[in-house]
Amino acid sequence: MKKEISGIDFSKIESDLLFRKIPFAKDFDLSKLCSFKIGGIAPLLVEPENEETLISFLSYSKNFGIPYKVLGGGSNVLISDYPNDFITLRLGGVFKEFHEKSEGRFEIGSAINTTPTFRKISNLGYEGVEFLSTIPGWVGGAVIQNAGCYGGEIFDFIQSVDVIQNNNYTSLPVEKIKYGYRSTEFLKNKNTIITRIVMNLKQGDSKEIEFKLKEFREKRNSSQPENKKSAGSVFKNPDSIKEKDKKWKAWELIDLVGMRGAVSGDAQVSEKHCNFIVNNGNALSRDVKILIEKIEDLVFKKFNIQLEKEIEFFGSMD
């Protein structure tokens, strides 16, 4: 029986990808590519290794109307149990490299892991980016969400972002990019794929850098669930609530509506940090979705505030 997606013959797609020398894998278990360890089987996982093969795939998918979704490091994403109505696109090859082109000027691929990369840059004596060594996932995802913690955000240090938009390569200076708290224009513009970033960093005191690396690591370990399958913070911190002008954290609201420790299937709101949901075994995406929707409903009813998800849904959750 032929596998089909939107009426397109998969065997034909596979032949076309082979002809274009675009790397891919068939029937890939996407749960292996995310920190939640949740997700179904992707009919095709396409992994371009450079700009040429990436643009080749994008042109091909556009010409033949083939839907795709971009998957990054999988650290802040909930993957559908049935991701079978699109092709999964994941960057590899040169997109996993970073180089110091001149003193303090770094070119960093979007598919490189954030934590070890910024730990290494910090250990080279460059200050300011120590906090990024505690953020999991890929650099591209960190850029899309303007990831941050402990008073810093990745856009504090970005000089430019290289992207492919509408099958054309361009380099965007940071001044031309709209971004804010846990948000950038890239979140809404699904036609943009980030390929690398450029940062200009300054040398600092090595002992102070080492202290910050240790301090931030210990803060993270003391406040977040360790050795648990999760996808990081589920919700963004909301704007201040009018009552007494108090500014709440998302986890406080979740706690106050009694959702700490709540369970759905093998998914559970973390006892340690209730803005985290953990997979205690073989949780499904629908289990996590049930908890998310219940939290949203209870917080809205009690505080009249709509929590905004920080976690991204990958594929249909219906």
The one-digit pLDDT tens for each residue of the chain (318 residues) are 344 555 667 788 999 999 999 999 999 999 999 999 999 999 999 999 999 999 999 999 999 889 999 999 999 999 999 998 899 999 999 999 999 989 999 999 999 999 999 999 999 999 999 999 999 999 999 999 999 999 999 999 999 999 998 888 999 999 999 999 888 999 888 779 999 999 999 999 999 999 999 999 999 888 888 789 999 999 999 875 545 566 789 999 999 999 999 999 999 999 999 999 999 999 999 999 999 999 999 999 999 999 999 999 999 998
Same domain, yes or no, for 101 and 178?
yes
The predicted pLDDT at position 223 comes to 81
- Beta bridge partners, 161, equal 172, 197
The residue out of 90, 115, 131 marking a domain boundary is: 90
Residue 64 lies in a domain: yes
Helix, strand, coil % in the chain, rounded to nearest 5? 35, 25, 40
Here the tokens at position 205 are 């005191």
Residue 219 lies in a domain: no
Give the model's pLDDT for residue 245.
60
Residues 6+ apart with CB under 8 A from 261: 268, 269, 270, 271, 274
Supply the range of the domain harboring residue 68.
4-90
Q: Pick from 299, 291, 239: which is nearest to 270 by CA? A: 291
**Of 233, 264, 270, 285, which residue is the catalytic one?**
233
From the candidates 47, 130, 296, 310, give the one annotated as an active-site residue.
310
**Tokens linked to 182:** 């846990």
**Is residue 8 domain-shared with residue 41, that is, in the same domain?**
yes
Residues 197 and 257 both lie in one domain:
no
Distance of CA 205 to the CA centre of its chain: 31
- Give yes or no: 133 in active site: no
End-to-end alpha carbon distance in the chain: 25
> Which residue among the candidates 20, 182, 220, 286 is catalytic per the annotation?
182
**118 in the same domain as 60:** no
pTM of the model: 0.89
Residue 182: per-residue pLDDT: 86
Does residue 148 form part of some domain?
yes
127 catalytic residue (yes or no): no
> Is 35 noted as a catalytic residue in this protein?
no
